[in-house]
Amino acid sequence: MSKLVGSIKEAIVKSGLKSGMCISFHHHLRGGDYVLNMVMDEIAGLGIKGLTINASSIHDGHAPLIKHMADGVVAGLETNYIGPVVGKAISEGGLAKPVLFRTHGGRASDLETGRCKIDVAFIAAPASDCMGNCSGKIGKSACGSLGYAFSDAMYADKVIVITDDLQEYPFTGFSIPENTVDFVVCVDAIGDPGGIVSGTTRVTKSPVSLKIADYAARAIDASGYLKDGFSFQTGAGGASLATAVFLKKIMQKKQVTGSYALGGITGYLVDMLHAGCFRALQDVQCFDLQAVESLRNDPGHMEISASQYAGPASKSSAVSSLDVAVLGATEIDVDFNVNVHTDSNGYIMGGSGGHSDAAQECKMTVIVAPLTRKRYSVVVDRVTCISTPGSTVDVLITQYGAAVNPRRPELLERFQRYGIPVADIHALKEQADRLNGIPEPLCRDGKRVVANVQYRDGRIIDRIYQV
């Protein structure tokens, strides 16, 4: 018995995929992913129409989707993030149904509880045996963790693993087990290694970002959370990553041993593990080659599923024990609501990912963002789209210092005592307005809804309108 089939097309036919069904993809190959496009081209060739795609993220490399949406091959999209290229097309009305945005944790829980259903999951796997025992840790297209694909494998009706490195059975290094897999296809390449992971993640040299990062690291130090057992999530964006660099110095100076760092893992977090700043890394996604290598080799670096990372239906998840999350924003308003879905013009160019998951669960959510970007205010009266409710956001750090949510007066006091410049968020908003002028509110009259934003508890908390 072998599940190997000769081509993606054969696997699609054997899976019984029909028009109107729901298919899924994961995004661990990120900007380098070939699999979504290869699969969608075959599906289009087979004349299948009206599909819903449930993908953990959509990146700019998935631009061919725009044509499949226009041709009616794809009628619906459920995802946690959409990059600006596909985002622009959808914002201009390029998709029949409104997008359903979830969070990384919410997607896993919705699959687990049966709130959403996948008919056929396509799992890009950098290494797999002929029965579907597969992993992202090795292979020429190694991407590290396959955390977002675990729930797809477990809950989809049919599961197709697509690999470019066929291992002998049994592949003992599996992350996803054969008992969940229906078919295996071996192709020449599942992705472009250059786009899957960057060799190194460079820290920003922007003076504004470095200033923000410095303030953020000092705010964490001042918060009272930075002690032995400290846990920390940050992303790979400019100021976020730089915050980790500054924080490392503080932790080493103070000889603090944290428990774990979390989230998309970068070489900087790996360095912090090696430097003894943390005992463990909880890894749902690797952002660079150093992270991939560390996950492969370091027993302190653990691969976790999206449910284990942040599932709201989980009995607990890594974010449940999280002290501090450092997160970005395209906009933040005077009520501390954060927008990471659209830019100020209302164009889709992102998504929550794990943003609102981490913000709701951690002890202190720190948003790092400049006061303005180009000629747009980041601090605004009302965000264009609520991605993360202000009730779960504690601190905004801009280049002018910290603005603290009035819910957390004790943090304000700590920051002041520590000598971190603080500002009222309304004052920051006025300062931004003075620089950029008061932004014209976006006109939504008669505009179609192009996306609904589902919070991790299942509620639709905002809508995104056609531009």
Euclidean distance between CA atoms 163 and 188, whole angstroms: 8
The answer to whether 114 touches 104, Cβ cutoff 8 Å, is no
| DSSP summary character for residue 198 | B
- Contacts of its own copies in 235-274 (CB under 8 A): 259-260
- Residue 177 interacting with its own copies (CB under 8 A): yes
- Residue 452 interacting with its own copies (CB under 8 A): no
Selected from 276, 300, 406, 409, the binder of its own copies by CB under 8 A is: 300
Euclidean distance between CA atoms 320 and 60, whole angstroms: 32
Least distance to its own copies, CB of residue 232, Å:
13
- Residue 444 interacting with its own copies (CB under 8 A): no
- Contacts of its own copies in 196-235 (CB under 8 A): none
Least distance to its own copies, CB of residue 66, Å:
34
- Residue 14 interacting with its own copies (CB under 8 A): no
Selected from 53, 210, 212, 280, the binder of its own copies by CB under 8 A is: 280
- Terminal-to-terminal C-alpha distance of the chain: 52
Look at the chain and count its residues: 467
Q: Which region among 310-318, 345-353, 413-421, 437-445 touches its own copies (by CB under 8 A)? A: 310-318
Residue 102 φ then ψ, to 5°: -115, -175
- Residue 56 interacting with its own copies (CB under 8 A): no
Euclidean distance between CA atoms 420 and 434, whole angstroms: 23
304 vs 428 by CB, closer to its own copies: 304
Q: Which helix (H) or strand (E) holds 110?
A: helix 104-113
- Residue 297 interacting with its own copies (CB under 8 A): no
Beta bridge partners, 188, equal none
Q: Cis peptide leading into 193, omega within 30 of 0?
A: no
- Residue 170 interacting with its own copies (CB under 8 A): yes
The answer to whether 280 touches 302, Cβ cutoff 8 Å, is yes
- Residue 317 interacting with its own copies (CB under 8 A): yes
- Residue 345 interacting with its own copies (CB under 8 A): no
Least distance to its own copies, CB of residue 157, Å:
10
Least distance to its own copies, CB of residue 132, Å:
7
- Residue 11 interacting with its own copies (CB under 8 A): no
- Residue 320 interacting with its own copies (CB under 8 A): yes
b/e per residue 299-334 (b: at least 16 CB within 10 A): eebbbbbbbbbbbbbbeebbbebbbbbbbbbbbbbb
Euclidean distance between CA atoms 165 and 179, whole angstroms: 20
Selected from 33, 178, 331, 333, the binder of its own copies by CB under 8 A is: 178
Residue 285 φ then ψ, to 5°: -165, 135
207 vs 299 by CB, closer to its own copies: 299
- Residue 31 interacting with its own copies (CB under 8 A): no
Selected from 9, 19, 63, 169, the binder of its own copies by CB under 8 A is: 169
Q: Which residues have a Cβ under 8 Å from the Cβ of 379 and sit 6 or more positions away?
A: 331, 332, 333, 334, 369, 371, 396, 398, 403, 425, 428, 429, 431, 432
Selected from 94, 106, 311, 390, the binder of its own copies by CB under 8 A is: 311
Chain residues binding its own copies by CB under 8 A are 1, 3, 131-132, 159, 168-170, 172-174, 177-182, 259-260, 279-280, 282, 299-302, 304-305, 307-308, 311, 314-318, 320-321
